[in-house]
Amino acid sequence: MPITDTHAVTSGGNTATALTASGGTGNVATIALGGDGATVAGLPIDTTKLAATLVQWGGLTTIADTIEDLQLYTQDQWDNVNGEWITPGASSLLGSIVQETYIPYQKGKRVISMQQNTAAANNVGFFTDAYYDSQVEVHMGFSFPQNKVVRSTTYGGALTALTWRSQAFTPTQMPPDGKYVLLGVSVNALTNHALIRFQHSDFNQYLPGFPVIDQMNTTVANAVLPKWGIYQQTGRQFAYMSQQSGQPMCPVFHIKAGQSGLNFQMLSITADTPIVTLFAANIGE
């Protein structure tokens, strides 16, 4: 079953250098701080041939900047000279770009490169792999109107920019014990873009996740309007990924003895104290 796994790279930004073929310039190449889990930037955590398939990638920058050029390059791509290369240009109002793809890992490190328009401010690249033989239980997660639970957790302290921080899922009232399918989240109290991923013993070593924006209590600048499909799926991002791929991608976890064992891990462009609202559904004991 295809559990996903998300990792990030960061840099201080780039305005001066135009991107070139084969991932040669503007690389976002530092493994994110705070325990990202990757050992080599751009490589999946399992480098066994064909174990990991890249299914989503993207780039994020600050709200005061915009993306002029974004490229994903790897030797495993069909066009391994140009890669996937998106050029919204000097008039771009994009603060992030999120792309679905399908690139089985064989031998090539993935490289994300970015050129920005304004300030060469901090930026982030991310990679989400699917592990189709993970033996982790997942679900399609399309609709659970009668069994759905919604709970909010506020981070216990501010994130450090470009650094993962973990927060236990500790709502005021924990849902009843049982088996749950994780559908997605809403996140507010963000200034810019961020990534969120989830840790639970039921997921083994994998950290399934996706990018998020705050559409609730920030000034809605054009740079953070929901231009990409996953941003339009608040509370059902994993279900959306299942629909897009035709494969179950909603992680399944257990709450036992009033303890969820679930942790959020978030990485933001800036220092924020997010509020995460979890959307899940009970699917049994």
The pTM of this model reads 0.95
Instruction: Give the span between the Cα atoms of 114 and 120, in whole angstroms.
Output: 10
Q: Burial of 101 by CB count in 10 Å (0-12 exposed, 13-18 middle, 19+ buried)?
A: middle
User: What is the dihedral angle through the alpha carbons of 14, 67, 184, 166, rounded to the nearest 10 degrees?
Assistant: 20
Three-class secondary structure of residue 241 per DSSP = helix
Predicted pLDDT of residue 24: 78
Kindly list the structural domains of the chain, giving each domain's residue range(s) and its CATH number in brackets, ordered by start.
3-131 (2.60.120), 138-284 (2.60.120)
Per DSSP, helices labelled H in the chain are: 237-245
Closest CA to 230 of 32, 96, 112, 45: 96
Query: pLDDT per position in the chain (285 positions), as tens?
Result: 699 999 999 999 999 888 988 777 899 999 999 999 999 999 999 999 989 999 999 999 988 889 999 999 999 999 998 999 999 999 998 999 999 999 999 998 999 999 999 877 899 999 999 999 888 999 987 766 678 899 999 999 999 999 999 999 999 999 999 999 999 999 999 888 899 999 999 999 999 999 999 887 755 566 556 678 899 899 999 999 998 888 899 999 999 999 999 999 999 999 999 999 999 999 987
Question: Which DSSP string do the residues of 99-120 spell out, in sequence order?
Answer: EEEEEE-SS---EEEEEESSS-
Instruction: Give the span between the Cα atoms of 195 and 26, in whole angstroms.
Output: 21
Predicted pLDDT of residue 223: 56
| Residue 39 CB contacts under 8 Å (≥ 6 apart), including other chains | 45
Closest CA to 2 of 199, 238, 264, 236: 238
Reading the block at residue 50, the tokens are: 């064909």
Using the 8-state DSSP alphabet, how is residue 231 labeled? Answer: G
| Residue 123 CB contacts under 8 Å (≥ 6 apart), including other chains | 10, 11, 12, 13, 14, 28, 59, 60, 61, 62, 65, 114, 116, 269
